[in-house]
Amino acid sequence: MNLVTKMLLTLTVIGIISGGFLMKINEWAEPKIDEHRKTATEEAIFKVQQKAKSYEKVNVDKELYKVYDENKNPIGFALPFVGNGFQGKIRVIIGIADDLEKLTGIQVLEQVETPGLGTKIVEDPSKKGNEFWFPNQFIDLSVKPEIKWIKGIAPDEPNEVEAITGATISSKSLIQIINNGIEYLQSLRDGGKI
Amino acid sequence: MSKKVSVMGEYIKGLWRNNPIFKQVLGMCPTLAVTTSALNGIAMALATTFVLFFSSTIISFIRKLIPSQVRIASYIVIVATFVTIVDLVMKAQFPELSKALGPYIPLIVVNCIILGRAEAFASKNNVGRSMLDALGMGSGFLIALVMLGSIRELLGTGTILGFQVMPNFYEPWLIMILPAGAFLTLGSLMGFFSFLSMRRKRLLMNTEIKRDIEKKKPVIVNSAEV
């Protein structure tokens, strides 16, 4: 057998065996991974829409869920939305009431902000007992005309949020992403799609 | 050369004398990137050890069948297969951990420790020795990553493996869990270990010199008198 044939044969055999192995493993893993993704989304929806009892995917170009209370009345939407943070993408799920005027809550799903500073948009371990003070500010927040941020003083307008000291850009970016998300929902509503 | 090393020696050498992090300085990317906490370090090291063990075993097993011109390509395919298995299993069974380690699990494919050991050891030694070597290197990697992760977690958040260790008034040094903290910790540890081995070497040398001097003493004294 000459060398070229031997080389080709070796790589082909190794490739086929590896491929076969991975196919089997993937068959086993894929449903489990999908399951995890689904539970994570479900948990997030019920977290930002506390009164929701059921939800349903809306057929639009982005991922969007319509949520219902126990009497099957639509009470609002849950919209996972992505945008730029300080260092990378921030993925946040926005809970909003059916009239698109008030938020019901938000939760950051993925982020790569600076540990200890920007990560306070998720959780602030330095404030014992009130770790979620930043995301909690978005509960019942008015989004008209848009969400604004202030720094150093307590917010007094219904559409204002206090930014995190040392992580103004992370706070600002998150608010920008949420405003964009609401704008997207508004455009859907204006187009009669939701 | 490998015949001189005892079977146990193949395992032991990875722990300290040839420690992949502190002595060979291989696989720095995951070392610096994921050691923000002790748990991440343990998970990363276990994943790497798994890949290292199985790829070393298989490479050593088929080492005589692979033509040397395509050996690197073959190694990479074998390593990548095991990395993909680890990635899929982690995503399916430990989604939280998989999220914390992020892209660094797929990046094990290009971890120098694995390809380095495949090329330098598994392709030249029998299966048993390759397995021991892989386990030893993996354990050495685990020791190094746990050390780095614990120090960074302790100083950066005041906890170890999630348990509060530092007193309440301790203000965490944020820099330790940022990338800069990884370099500071690794540099200090490497410096400390080099200092230890240098001191040991000097002590050994000193005793040897003393012994030599004592042996030669009469000769020196004589020549001075003359």
Please state the rounded mean pLDDT for residues B125-149: 91
What is the phi-psi region of residue A116: left when phi exceeds 0, alpha when psi lies from -120 to 50, beta otherwise?
left
Residues of chain A with Cβ-Cβ distance to B77 below 8 Å are: 11, 14-15, 18
Judge whether A139 and A125 are in contact, CB under 8 Å: no
Does the structure show a pLDDT above 60 at B219?
Answer: no
What is the phi-psi region of residue B158: left when phi exceeds 0, alpha when psi lies from -120 to 50, beta otherwise?
left
pTM for this model (two decimals): 0.77
List B residues 138-197 in contact with A (Cβ-Cβ < 8 A). Answer: 156-157, 172, 174, 177-178
* Residue A11 to residue B80, Cβ atoms within 8 A: no
Best residue of B84, B157, B169 to probe chain A, by most A CBs closer than 10 Å = B84
- Listed residue (B37, B38, B33, B19) closest to B196, CA to CA: B19
Q: What is the DSSP string of chain B?
A: -GGGS-HHHHHHHHHTTT-TTTTS---HHHHHHHTTSHHHHHHHHHHHHHHHHHHHHHHHHTTTTS-GGGHHHHHHHHHHHHHHHHHHHHHHH-HHHHHHHGGGTGGGGG-HHHHHHIIIIITTS-HHHHHHHHHHHHHHHHHHHHHHHHHHHHHHHSEETTEE-S-TT----GGGGSHHHHHHHHHHHHHHHHHHHHHHHHHHHHHHHHHHHHHHHHHHHHHHH-
Task: Compute how many other C-beta atoms are within 10 angstroms of the C-beta atom of residue A168.
Answer: 15
Residues 6+ apart with CB under 8 A from B108: B30, B47, B48, B51, B79, B83, B86, B114
Please state the rounded mean pLDDT for residues A18-31: 94
Residues of chain B with Cβ-Cβ distance to A114 below 8 Å are: 178
Does the structure show a pLDDT above 70 at B221?
Answer: no
Does the structure show a pLDDT above 50 at A10?
Answer: yes
Please give, rounded to a whole number of angstroms, the shortest distance from the CA of B12 to a CA of chain A.
Answer: 31
Question: What are the distances in angstroms from CA B61 to CA A3, B3, B67, B77?
Answer: 21, 18, 14, 15
Judge whether B113 and B52 are in contact, CB under 8 Å: yes
* Phi then psi dihedrals of residue A89, to 5 deg: -75, 145
Judge whether B166 and B158 are in contact, CB under 8 Å: yes
Please indicate if any CB of chain A lies within 8 Å of the CB of B73: yes
Question: What was the pLDDT predicted at B222?
Answer: 53
Does the structure show a pLDDT above 50 at B1?
Answer: no
Please state the rounded mean pLDDT for residues A155-176: 90
Residues 6+ apart with CB under 8 A from B221: none
* Residue B67 to residue A25, Cβ atoms within 8 A: no
CA dist B101 and B183 (Å) reads 19
Q: N- to C-terminal Cα distance for chain B?
A: 49
The beta-carbon neighbor of B74 closest among A11, A25, A29 is: A11
Domain-wise residue ranges, chain B = 2-193
List B residues 82-111 in contact with A (Cβ-Cβ < 8 A). Answer: 84-85, 88-89, 91-93, 95
- Listed residue (B131, B83, B133) closest to B111, CA to CA: B83
Please state the rounded mean pLDDT for residues A160-181: 92
Question: What was the pLDDT predicted at B218?
Answer: 57
Residues 6+ apart with CB under 8 A from B207: none
DSSP symbol at A167: -
CA dist A97 and A81 (Å) reads 16
| Nearest-Cα residue of chain A relative to residue B73 | A11
Q: Kindly give the interhelix angle for B38-61 and B71-93, rounded to the nearest 10 degrees.
A: 140
* Residue B92 to residue A117, Cβ atoms within 8 A: no
What does the block give as tokens for A81?
């939305």
Which residues make beta-bridge pairs with A186? none
The complex scores an ipTM of: 0.72
| Nearest-Cα residue of chain A relative to residue B181 | A115
Judge whether A111 and A91 are in contact, CB under 8 Å: yes
Question: What was the pLDDT predicted at A38?
Answer: 87
pLDDT tens digits, A141-150: 888 888 888 8
Question: What are the distances in angstroms from CA A117 to CA A113, A125, B182?
Answer: 8, 10, 18
pLDDT tens digits, B156-207: 888 888 788 888 888 888 888 888 899 999 999 999 988 988 998 899 888 8
Question: What are the distances in angstroms from CA A113 to CA A80, A118, B159?
Answer: 18, 5, 20
Question: What was the pLDDT predicted at B2?
Answer: 45
- Listed residue (A171, A102, A168) closest to A134, CA to CA: A171
The beta-carbon neighbor of B69 closest among A7, A33, A125 is: A7
Please indicate if any CB of chain A lies within 8 Å of the CB of B76: no
DSSP symbol at A152: S
pLDDT band at B223 (very low <50, low <70, confident <90, very high): low
Length of chain A measured in residues: 194
- Percent of chain A at pLDDT above 70? 100
SS3 assignment, position A176:
helix
Lowest mean pLDDT among A79-83, A100-104, B37-41, B99-103: B99-103
- Listed residue (B25, B183, B37, B44) closest to B106, CA to CA: B44
Please indicate if any CB of chain A lies within 8 Å of the CB of B81: yes
